[in-house]
Amino acid sequence: MMTSALAPVHGARVAVIHATIDTPIGPLLVAATPIGLVRVAFAQEGWDGVLDELAGHLGTRPIAAAGALDQTHRQFDEYFAGQRRRFNVPIHWWASPGFRRTVCQTLCAKVDFGHTVSYLELATMAGRPKASRAVGSAMATNPIPIVVPCHRVVRADGPLGGFRGGLSVKAQLLDLEAGPDAPSVGSKRVRGTSRR
């Protein structure tokens, strides 16, 4: 669930639509505003709570509208089929202010499909090499996992670190991106390096 420390969007009411998408890692809730994708949530997060939180911050209860999110649905299908390496949907960044947004945007721009980066490396890429703890916080609260690929951020000492969808899902995503010939994450090998 998104952090309750987020302020409402300038007191305005923002229209929100949502739909569910079936994927190999389980169903996902996706929500968007007219600006762009605002939330991707795993079932274990409790979708009613996610929708309540969006309503509280954006001023209106999200409305189910599956067809309006066809482009997002199609891109998720392509990603899980191994046919898409980068999402190309507009993002509404209201839930990732300041340095969190910088971290998320840096991650999207510089850490490619099939590669991983440590929290410290991502902090350095984002221009604040001493802010690895803040990077960890940004990844833990990332409201748009998979599209903003926080699963590619791992601990420098080997373990996967945390993930909103659970570590088994994080491992599945890394294995999907590594391809069928790479050893599984369970073998302790973390794939690749970031693009510099």
What residues are labeled active site? Answer: 150
Q: Give the per-residue SS3 of 13-77.
A: CCCCEEEEECCCCCCEEEEECCCCEEEEEEHHHCHHHHHHHHHHHHCCCCEECHHHHHHHHHHHH
**H helix count then E strand count, the chain:** 6, 6
- Residue 57 sits at the vertex; the CA angle it makes with 53 and 61, to the nearest 5 degrees, is 65
Q: Report the Cα 26 to chain-centroid distance in Å.
A: 15
What is the DSSP track for 150-168? Answer: GGGEE-TTSS----TT-HH
Backbone angles phi, psi at 166, to 5 degrees: 100, 150
